[in-house]
Amino acid sequence: MPDYASILKQYWGYDSFRGIQEDIIRSIGQGHDTLGLMPTGGGKSITFQVPALAQEGLCLVITPLIALMKDQVQNLKQRGIRALAIYSGMSKQEILVTLENAIFGNYKFLYISPERLATDIFRVKLAKMKISMITVDESHCISQWGYDFRPAYLKIAEVRHMLPGVPVLALTATATPEVVKDIQKRLEFREENVFRMSFERTNLAYVVRRTDNKPKELLHILQRMPGSAIIYVRNRRRTKEVTEFLTKQGITADFYHAGLDDATKDIRQQRWQKGESRVMVATNAFGMGIDKPDVRLVIHIDLPDSLEAYFQEAGRAGRDGQKAYAIILYNKSDKTTLHKRISDTFPEKDYILDVYEHLQYYYQMAMGDGQGCVREFDIEDFCRKFKYFPVPVDSALKILTQAGYIEYTDEQDNASRLLFTIGREELYKLHNLGETTDRLIQTVLRSYTGLFTDYTFINEDFLAICTNLTRQQVYESLIKLAKLRIVSYIPRKKIPYIIYTRERMDTSQMRITPDIYEERKARYERRIQAMVEYVEEDLICRSRMLLRYFGEKNEHNCGLCDTCIQRTRTTRTPAPVLQAEDVYQALSGEPLTPAELEEKLNADKDLISELLHQLANDNRINTQNGMLQIRK
């Protein structure tokens, strides 16, 4: 057997594995199809990175999380491990270069979004790659029973047929029992093989706080409880509003959502991770791949759509094993808001078909045309032209994606990329490019590596500072070099895409089947109901409720959540009523001042005073020099 512990020590510096990590590693290392269920913070990435390094070939990692993909590739490179990534928004040339490197470049990991699996270029190049194992991250996305189904995941089984004998490792932090079975079926496991890590978090107190004034309650919690915090809200606008409110109250805070550019996200994330800002106010775009162990509070101001989403976000608190809190602020209007999301997430079928029809007018797509076309999509512009609201349009496009008519990618923030298309020696022979351009080239070569073999992310603002040029001058110089065919330059772009997976169809011939619409809507409604029941329950242990939802039996209460604490208070044996004899016994040792007596008895001041009068009337005690004492 490979020495997995040595690999762990060499690249990560750890002396031993955690939980079920080693069991999963040995299973996939022996060629068994494997499903690993590990809660957020359980160390999933180790379970495929270590076995992949222990064998020859390339590990194909399929994940829908582009931000996580970029972070992991960067982290692997920093550890001296060669890794690549392909995702929506890359140019055809970039994809081609990356795939060629995956074949010939002695890389160990190729990260790819599931939507890329079906493309002809990928499948042609895949046949030439030496794949050692396939990792499917967020594997619950393959199940239509899951809360985040993505049809592109269904293509993974086809990829498996192209790679006979190559084992698959599926990983997820949130899967109900029916989803666990469905994952293995959809990925065509040769036999069922599941490793489960308990989802119980013994240091995490789950709390639901009912309040009609959420800002006031939020402030009260943050002032009472020290430590780093994440506050989750529903939309981008709210992130800014809550941050401004906290800042005015003297609490350091930043906000984070998918609409920010990469540089801003990185700065704010680093500031929060270093403790320079205490609170991160965010949408659900924040948290994936963030490894900050000392988060003491995760607070939800708005309710998530499901217990799966809540459990994953709440689990970002207390990863260091110390006491932490996952708190929901809840009022009656939240229930109405949550139920409204059903109609927003599943608009009427006629509405969905209208959106599809207007999409053709938007792109001026003729009947029968379109297959394979990729178009940038500005949802605000589309809604303005056809008088729609963005939220149901976004949902309609996702349902059309699931039905197989288009592929709609979420907004991607792709940093600028650069590749030298001529060799280093050729570059040094060039003259007359101008002082500004020469200075820029020298700075680029000093600042970044791998520019002659692969597209490299660059930052024009950073280059402007280093060269004493303006950002516009940097941009114009790079465009000039691109026109001279010295570099391939792809400026930063942040926009969603519509990809036509088939030709434009007449809406009368389109069919949105029950498994895409009615069945998924019914499951969504059940998840909403489970979320509502969780926040409205005030008798059952919250940890037990969550564990039961994910199919884990647990016979004991956590003792930490608000329902457990309330039960302890109501069942506690009431303290015995203070009697005159108790006061007399307290004074039997030595004289005491009234204040000392109160502290010793820890009882109501008025009651003690009344009992002292009683004892004095009975001639059993007296006062001398301000001291209470037993009468001799």
- pLDDT band with cut points at 50, 70 and 90 for residue 285: confident
| Cα dihedral 8/11/13/15 (nearest 10) | 10
Q: Which fold has domain 204-331+526-568?
A: Rossmann fold (3.40.50)
Residue 262: its pLDDT value, please?
67
The pLDDT of residue 568: 78
What separation, in Å, do the N-terminal and C-terminal C-alpha atoms of the chain show? Answer: 85
* Residue 422: count of CB within 10 angstroms of its CB: 14
Q: What's the pLDDT tens digit per position in 435-458?
A: 889 999 999 999 998 899 888 888
User: Is residue 412 scored above 60 in pLDDT?
Assistant: no
* Window from 48-52, 86-90, 101-105, 565-569 with minimum mean pLDDT: 86-90
Q: On the CB side of 547, how many CA atoms lie within 13 Å of its CA?
A: 20
pTM > 0.75: yes or no: no
Quick one: pLDDT at residue 193? 97
Average pLDDT over all residues of the chain: 89
4-196: which CATH topology?
Rossmann fold (3.40.50)
Total residues found in the chain within this entry: 632
Segment 538-594, tens digit of pLDDT: 889 999 999 999 888 887 899 999 999 988 776 655 556 788 888 888 888 888 888
- DSSP 8-class letter at 57: S
- In angstroms, the CA 255 to CA 280 distance is 6
pLDDT at 584: 86
**Distance between alpha carbon 300 and the CA centroid of its chain, in Å?**
14
Higher pLDDT: 18 or 626? It is 18
Range of weakest confidence among 105-109, 331-335, 589-593? 589-593
- Pick the more confident residue, 409 or 255: 255
Per-residue pLDDT of 192-249, as tens digits, reads 999 998 889 999 999 999 999 999 999 999 999 999 999 999 999 999 999 999 999 9
Q: Which two tokens stand for residue 48?
A: 């495929």
**What pLDDT score was predicted for residue 410?**
64
CATH tag for 580-630 (out of 1.10.10.10, 3.40.50.620, 1.10.540.10, 1.20.210.10): 1.10.10.10
Q: Say what the pLDDT of residue 47 is.
A: 96
Per-residue DSSP letter, 592: B
If DSSP codes are grouped into helix, strand and coil, which group holds residue 326? strand
CA distance linking residue 530 with residue 518, whole number of Å? 18
Predicted local confidence at residue 253, as pLDDT: 97
From CA 519, how far away is CA 146, in angstroms rounded? 12
The domain made up of 347-414+496-516 is a member of CATH 3.30.565.10: no
Separation CA 175–CA 140 (nearest Å): 6
